[in-house]
Amino acid sequence: MRIGELARRVGTTTRALRFYEAQGLLEARRSANGYREYGEDDARLVNEIRALQAVGFSLDDTRPFVECLRAGNETGDSCADSIDVYQRKLAEVDACLEQLNAVRTSLLRKLGTALARHPGTCGVADRNADGANESEEH
């Protein structure tokens, strides 16, 4: 199949496919007239790349999965290098969650302090037209 058909089948653009090719993730064969030609395996590779990118993987992160598929494995995560990427990405997600939990804890503490200073009021009635609290001191 040609590049346009592959793009339609996998839900991406021809520009993205050319970029994948330039990055060494996709290898097009050339027909006699110079058109890029792709097969079902190429569609599978692109689907793998897109699925991984959809969950936050960079193109470079997808390389081990692509190489695993190219090596003839049934899935892109059948190889040790792919498992390593999963583990690294999970560690990154865990670190982000820790940061978000720290921010949440800080915000809850600040909210508690603010509410303790103004018991029984929600502050909405004290706001002026620009949304600032008239009684707030900066």
Q: List the domain boundaries for the chain.
A: 3-89
Question: What's the pLDDT band for 118 if we cut at 50, 70, 90?
Answer: confident
* pLDDT at residue 121 greater than cutoff 70: no
CATH number of 3-89: 1.10.1660.10
C-alpha distance across the termini of the chain, in Å: 65
Which residue, 26, 38, 16, is CA-closest to 67?
26
Q: Where are the alpha helices (H) located in 1-79, listed in sequence order?
A: 3-10, 14-22, 40-54, 59-70
* pLDDT at residue 32 greater than cutoff 50: yes
How confident is the model at residue 82, as a pLDDT? 98
Please state, as a whole number, how many other Cβ atoms lie within 10 Å of the Cβ of residue 28: 18
pLDDT tens figures, 43-98:
999 999 999 999 999 999 999 999 999 999 999 999 999 999 999 999 999 999 99
CA distance 28 to 66: 14
Q: Is 30:24 a contact under the CB 8 Å cutoff?
A: no
Question: What's the pLDDT band for 122 if we cut at 50, 70, 90?
Answer: low
**What pTM did the predictor assign?**
0.74
- 88 CB burial (10 A radius; 0-12, 13-18, 19+): exposed
- Residues composing the chain: 138
CA distance 44 to 70: 10
User: What phi, psi does 127 have (nearest 5°)?
Assistant: -80, 145
